[in-house]
Chain A
Amino acid sequence: QVQLKETGPDLVQLTQTLSITCTVSGFSLTTYNVHWVRQPPGKGLEWMGAMWNGGGTDYNSAFKSRLSISRDTSKSQVFLKMNSLQTDDTAKYFCARQNPFFGYFDYWGQGVMVTVSS
């Protein structure tokens, strides 16, 4: 069945780089788009960016040039990297699969909670 699972550090130091891996199963990254969404504690959802099935990417300009998304199709993994972390980057980070026919996210990972520590 379709599954997405995020793995990453619990704690990252201020100004350092965050790296999170989304490992998927039950579908191919060359067929489906995968997105990243984050949620600060007690707050709403924020779209960060997408890895398209063709290998391209799109980013929310709110993250300027801090954010990078890449993939390894042979390992069914999508990677998120964000540098220059600040305390307001403390959040739960989710990866989600886009439905192939519509724009909504039909499967979500459980998320990984990352705290940025000063």
Chain B
Amino acid sequence: DIQMTQSPSSLPASLGERVTISCRASQGISNNLNWYQQKPDGTIKPLIYYTSNLQSGVPSRFSGSGSGTDYSLTISSLEPEDFAMYYCQQDASFPRTFGGGTKLELK
């Protein structure tokens, strides 16, 4: 199985701040990397697919990059609604696996 390691697990940040969350795969995943946001009420929505493609309706302050084993999600200027959990996920091989999550918290 491909292990996905996310960092940091917790990220205190302020409104308007630029933040980056990292995700490392245990082997190359050829850009098959997706990002999801989970709100405190439990709802999950996709943000970025195939490394850098913005899901329809997601604000342009979200962006993704990476290659090989290392990927990142960047939020350029934090808005109040961005404080949530974030998960990366690989779909290069089965079983699909997720990172452990990053909790983005208000500082």
Contact = CB atoms under 8 A, between A and B. Distances in A.
Given A103-B34, A110-B43, A46 B50 contact: no
Given A44-B87, A45-B89, A105 B97 contact: no
Contacts of A62: 95
Question: How many A residues touch the partner, as a band?
Answer: 20 to 34
Contacts of A94: 44
Contacts of B53: 102
Contacts of A46: 98
A1 B92 CA distance: 29
Contact of A104 (B43, B46, B95, B99): B46
Contacts of A111: 42
A60 interface: yes
A102 B43 contact: no
A94 B96 CA distance: 14
Contact of A108 (B43, B55, B94, B101): B43
Nearest to A111: B42
A47 B1 CA distance: 12
Contacts of B18: none
Nearest to B87: A45
Interface of A: 35, 44-47, 58, 60-62, 92, 94, 96, 99, 102-106, 108, 110-111
Given A62-B95, A102-B49, A104-B91, 17 more contacts: A44-B98, A45-B36, A47-B95, A47-B98, A58-B94, A61-B95, A94-B44, A102-B50, A102-B53, A103-B32, A103-B34, A104-B49, A105-B34, A105-B44, A105-B46, A106-B49, A110-B43
